[in-house]
A and B are shown apart, each in its own frame.
Chain A
Amino acid sequence: DTEVTQTPKHLVMGMTNKKSLKCEQHMGHRAMYWYKQKAKKPPELMFVYSYEKLSINESVPSRFSPECPNSSLLNLHLHALQPEDSALYLCASSQDSLVFNSYEQYFGPGTRLTVT
């Protein structure tokens, strides 16, 4: 199984709402990632988890809160978002990397988020 699944596919939320994005993989990967992608732009790394521990936070605002409950699951909790946070949120996983090399990443289909 080389699939990364993400739910929901689409999400519309108000600026005062709290919602969560979910990501799951069953490839035995121990590194998982959240990316944000605006229209016609490349994906931008937000967070990296390695062995269920947060290893990289790309200075993401605290209104985005990641969580890795176990090696197969990754959540992104959203609270008090702004309209400019509307984007495609992509989850990915990979084998855990050696210190200075990385493996290919497997991406989910993304959650298209609209903040109203």
Chain B
Amino acid sequence: SQQGEEDPQALSIQEGENATMNCSYKTSINNLQWYRQNSGRGLVHLILIRSNEREKHSGRLRVTLDTSKKSSSLLITASRAADTASYFCALNTGFQKLVFGTGTRLLVSP
């Protein structure tokens, strides 16, 4: 399967703590993207990291990519209750096609 596998499937933390979620995949990629989805709604793009990049930052988000291990991680620092959502990695395997990972459900408690 070209799909990314994310772990953990679910993560429950307190406000102020950091949250780390991982994405592993098996195919070659052009870039890897992370999206957030609030319950039952559309997805919001968070960050895109190209295959020749190793790390990117955006605000409280830090993404790493290790193409030799075929894995990526998303770190959310100083989490807030508003960060509660599902997070998906998405693999760009060619042309305009994105294949979404299995997702991590994050719950941040006040």
Give chain B's interface secondary structure class.
strand
CB distance from B109 to the nearest CB of A (A): 20
A107 within 8 A of B: yes
Q: Is the CB of A43 within 8 A of B100?
A: yes
Q: Is the CB of A106 within 8 A of B97?
A: no
Chain B residues within 8 Å of A104, by CB: 33, 45, 48
A88 within 8 A of B: yes
Within 8 A of B (CB), among A75-116: 88, 90, 92, 94, 96-97, 99-110, 112
**Segment at the A interface, from B12-20, B60-68, B69-77, B87-95:** B87-95
B110 within 8 A of A: no
Q: Is the CB of A56 within 8 A of B97?
A: yes
Scan B30-45; emit 1 where CB is below 8 A from any A CB, else 0. Answer: 1101010000111111
Chain B residues within 8 Å of A21, by CB: none
Within 8 A of B (CB), among A56-87: 56
Q: Is the CB of B3 within 8 A of A42?
A: yes
From known contacts A43-B43, A88-B40, A110-B41, infer whether A102 and B30 are also in contact, taking CB-CB under 8 Å: yes
A55 within 8 A of B: yes
Q: Is the CB of B98 within 8 A of A45?
A: yes
Instruction: Select one of B31, B35, B40, B103 contacting A101, CB under 8 A.
Output: B31
CB distance from A113 to the nearest CB of B (A): 13
Chain B residues within 8 Å of A41, by CB: 103
CB distance from A90 to the nearest CB of B (A): 6
Chain B residues within 8 Å of A45, by CB: 97-99
Of the A-B pairs whose beta carbons lie under 8 Å apart in the complex, a sample of 13, sorted by A's number, is A41-B103, A44-B100, A45-B97, A56-B97, A92-B43, A100-B94, A101-B30, A101-B31, A102-B30, A102-B98, A104-B45, A105-B33, A105-B98
